[in-house]
Amino acid sequence: MRYHPLPGTALPVVVTATFVIVIWIGWGSWRYPVALWAPGALSRYHADIVSCMQCHEPFHGPSQTRCMTCHSGPYFEKRSTSATAKLHRDMVVQQTACSACHTEHRGALAQITDPARVNPHGEFIFLATRANSCSACHEFAARVAEPPRLKTNSLVDALRAAGGSAHVPGKMALCLTCHAKGT
């Protein structure tokens, strides 16, 4: 098989295009690192993180060591049931990455623990109430195992008034049976 030679202008064009792309990626990485490299928005749980390097090690991704900076052993002892604390202790001893069960960069309303990925109300509740977190309507106990309590505030009162008997605990997960998606 015989190949045709490339025209003499091909090499300068390829070199120039490569140079422009490298400069563009370098400038974008320096000027807008999150916009260029982040796979998605952080969850509401980590919204206060200001630098990728708080969680990620360069060229290695999320780091268990960096997770443990905020989520230490005493943190789990105080907030978790004994079974949950033991599970996390075992995972640390086995050197299991936190990202094996916890995921990030799926948006502000996403759950970050695999078993708890589903919002019990559906994402519609945030659109309907214009709330930006679960704590706008719920009060959470210090221990993760204790169920949240519904607050008495203007947001909850308005939601109950708007839906009558349909907007009561136990029925909120069924929003889309009455409401069209996104309205």
What's the rounded Cα separation, in Å, for the pair 119 and 44?
13
Give the start-end residues of each E strand in the chain. 56-57, 61-62, 138-139, 149-150
Please give the pLDDT value at position 176.
Answer: 64
Q: What is the pLDDT of residue 35?
A: 72
Task: Name the region of 107 (left: φ>0; alpha: ψ -120 to 50; beta: rest).
Answer: left
* pTM metric for this prediction: 0.47
Residue 22 has pLDDT above 90, yes or no: yes
Q: Is the pLDDT of residue 160 over 70?
A: yes
Q: What is the pLDDT of residue 117?
A: 45
Find the mean pLDDT for residues 86-103: 81
Residue 127's H or E segment, with its range, is: helix 124-129
98's tokens: 């936190």
User: Which residues make Cβ contacts (< 8 Å) with residue 61, sequence separation at least 6?
Assistant: 99
Burial string for 83-109 (b: 16+ CB within 10 Å, else e) reads: eebeebeeeeeeeeebeeebbbeeeeb
Helix (H, G, I), strand (E, B) or coil at 111: coil
Return the top range by mean pLDDT from 27-31, 115-119, 125-129, 172-176: 27-31
What pLDDT, in 10s, does the model give residues 31-74?
887 677 778 888 888 888 888 889 998 888 888 888 888 888 78
Helix runs in 49-95, H state only: 64-70, 73-79, 82-93
- Give the pLDDT score at 47: 83
